[in-house]
Structure 1
């Protein structure tokens, strides 16, 4: 009987893993898809994907969108997110910090975290410039492409970092490969300095700044500025000081309500 119970529990766990995989896939694709398209692109059996999609539809986690049986993330996820934000004061503190940074620097300010083994922008406040410099909120980006990525893995050993980051993520947008050892050296320098800045790998016109938001001795998140290259270099010290001051106010969060 114990073996049967273990097998049933294992199937439920695999079903949950697959359901989360479907949700995360739709989040990354940012478009409604048919269940058979989801199954093909995540490499899952169509029968199990259809079963899970129907379960998620019944519970409002997915909704039909765009016709032809396409599905996308459901509004219940919004209410779950709203409940999370109500429980944690951290979100409101973060929004205030980003607003201050954008006002003080006129640059685009971002709050960033790891999402699995990728980097993502969680919150953003655009600066006062007439043109837009930003990354879409929630978009997954390889860790080595980002200034924040050098700070968000500092709590790991070098071997853990190389095991954590997919090898293909060291291929840069222009097709060149970033030497993993060079990346590790930048991680350790960022850890010692308490910040990291560089000319963006993704956008040749911008300069990026990041400082850690500390929680229990490690970088749980980062505050960032994304600036035009010339302005970023000209105001480097001031921008770093602004970021550090803002991050210090967040580093004792989250506060539980």
Structure 2
């Protein structure tokens, strides 16, 4: 791996603060990153000159993301067929089940939502495209982890205890490995209140033209509408949706995690 450039890392640290904040001042950035005040002013100045940050208002000493970041994101989205095709297939699946449908990709030990269609019911899961969650706490994430070699999963988590989002979350590597092995054999992942105390979910893998698992599709349901019959129906539907999206990405063979 190439040596990381500290100045570039600090610039990205500044930008990534805005993933969770609409506006920030230089003192707030300084406090959150623990960097010298002069360093932050130089970073903010440079990022502003390049269009990655902009003043929150005329004469304001607060900043928000600039248009350059939007342009890069738009260029990325335009080239990412997965997001576009995933949205279309998710819309079809959501119409058939009237529940929330997500398409996500793995980013390290997290899962990142790239497409989403909301449930038509008034009681539904709250989420957003661009949100990330710990992969081991979600059906989407677990089905993506199940496609990895054991050694790669071990490298992701080491021997540490896994962080929990609810009391139902998997917290040990042994328990995670057992579940991932079961998912690999079955082809569908299940989550019950592991990332949200009020939500259950099923997910299936999405493959590209080479047969590699590149994404996953999930259907999320509030537990007040969850039962064995619903789960069985949604397991088949999410398989269909994931297969349809795989075909859109050029996959023609059978899907398997093994």
- TM-score interval, normalised by the smaller of the two chains: 0.7 to 0.9
* TM-score normalised by structure 2 residue count: 0.82
Residue from 163, 175, 185 that aligns with 1:192: 185
**Residues 217, 51 of structure 1: alpha-carbon distance in 2 compared, 3 angstrom cutoff:** farther
Determine if the alignment matches structure 1 residue 47 to structure 2 residue 38.
Answer: yes
Query: What is the RMSD of the two structures over their aligned residues, measured on CA atoms?
Result: 2.7
SS of the equivalent of 2:175 reads helix
The 5 Å alignment of 1:12-161 reads 13-27=5-19, 29-65=20-56, 69-161=61-153
Structure 2: tracts of 5 or more residues without a match = 251-258
- Deviates most, 231-240 or 173-182: 173-182
Aligned-partner Cα distance in 1 for 2:32–2:25: 11
SS of the equivalent of 1:170 reads coil
Deviations 1:23-57 (A, max 9, x none): 22321x23311223223323434333322221111
Aligned-partner Cα distance in 2 for 1:253–1:24: 32
Residues paired across the two proteins, number: 245
SS of the equivalent of 1:171 reads coil
Q: Find the counterpart in structure 2 of residue 6 from structure 1.
A: none
Aligned-partner Cα distance in 2 for 1:192–1:16: 43
| TM-fit CA distance, 1:138 | 2.2
Aligned-partner Cα distance in 2 for 1:53–1:253: 42
| TM-fit CA distance, 1:174 | 4.3
Aligned-partner Cα distance in 2 for 1:214–1:24: 30
The structure with more helix, counted as a fraction of residues? 1
SS of the equivalent of 1:102 reads helix
Aligned-partner Cα distance in 1 for 2:30–2:201: 37
Deviations 1:224-244 (A, max 9, x none): 111122534322232122222
User: Where does structure 1 differ by over 6 angstroms across 4 or more consecutive aligned residues?
Assistant: none
Structure 1: tracts of 5 or more residues without a match = 1-8
**Residues 205, 185 of structure 1: alpha-carbon distance in 2 compared, 3 angstrom cutoff:** same
| TM-fit CA distance, 1:202 | 2.9
Aligned-partner Cα distance in 1 for 2:29–2:126: 29
Deviations 1:134-159 (A, max 9, x none): 32332332222211221222343434
Aligned-partner Cα distance in 2 for 1:63–1:109: 35
Aligned-partner Cα distance in 1 for 2:157–2:60: 37
Aligned-partner Cα distance in 1 for 2:92–2:197: 26
